[in-house]
Amino acid sequence: MTATASAPDVLTARALLLDMDGTLVNSDAVVERVWRRWALRHGLDPQEALKVVHGRQGYATMALLLPDRPMERNVAENLELLAEETADLDGVVPIPGAPAFLAAIAALPHALVTSADAALARARMGAAGLRMPDTRVTAECVSASKPDPEGFLKGAVELGFAPEDCVVFEDSEAGIAAGRAAGMRVVGVGPRAAAFAPDVHVPDLTHLRVEAGADGAVRLHVAP
């Protein structure tokens, strides 16, 4: 579905599962700085690295780019990159509409499902001036990175809803694939998402209006 000029689409759900980077927070400047340095240290083309970095945990990105390297090394080096990213908050800002969107869903079932660890999630949400959801699934909570659906499935369980009752908000190929693999509908947010056929695509969160139904349903009105 896509929004039309004559009538907005409406998605109905009972719970919302929100990615962070690229969906609520624009952290592209930091991600590109850190991963460009990493790629150059390893003799890789930074542009090729940036094609696969979004949405995945760092160790999973490294495994794609350095397939012959032991996973233990990727996991260890990912901890170093997480520390770098947590310390670098220059240019971290909210996605347009994110503060109002989070305010609108404050009393509704929702969770943050991010490939960041807890420290990085707190740092970036804080730098962007955004409220941290009470229910969070961060990197420490899962055994597999997106595009594996584990994080979204765990978010649904923690909120107490079936996958088909959840709508995922994502910006990346890996995240959209994870939401789809979890059996959930996906709202793609931002320019990256448009290429990966989400159920609905919006340029940013200003294009969404949230309506809470008396029956417990959450209606997402998607405007052009």
Report, as residue numbers or ranges, the catalytic residues.
19, 21
State whether the Cα torsion 52-55-61-63 is positive or negative. negative
Pull the structure tokens for residue 39.
């790629």
Residues 200 and 187: beta-carbon distance below 8 Å: yes
- Please state, in angstroms and rounded to a whole number, the distance separating the CA atoms of residues 23 and 203: 10
Q: How far is CA 174 from CA 3, 7, 213, in A?
A: 23, 30, 31
Q: Computed from CA positions of residues 149, 162, 98, 192, in that sequence, does the dihedral angle turn out positive or negative?
A: positive
Query: Given strand 218-222, what is the order of strands in its sheet?
Result: 9-13, 218-222, 208-212
175, containing H or E segment: helix 173-181
Please measure the distance between the N-terminal and C-terminal CA atoms of the chain and give it in whole angstroms: 12
Contact 150, 169 (CB under 8 A): no
- Burial classification of residue 109, based on how many CB atoms lie within 10 Å of its CB (0-12 exposed, 13-18 middle, 19 or more buried): buried
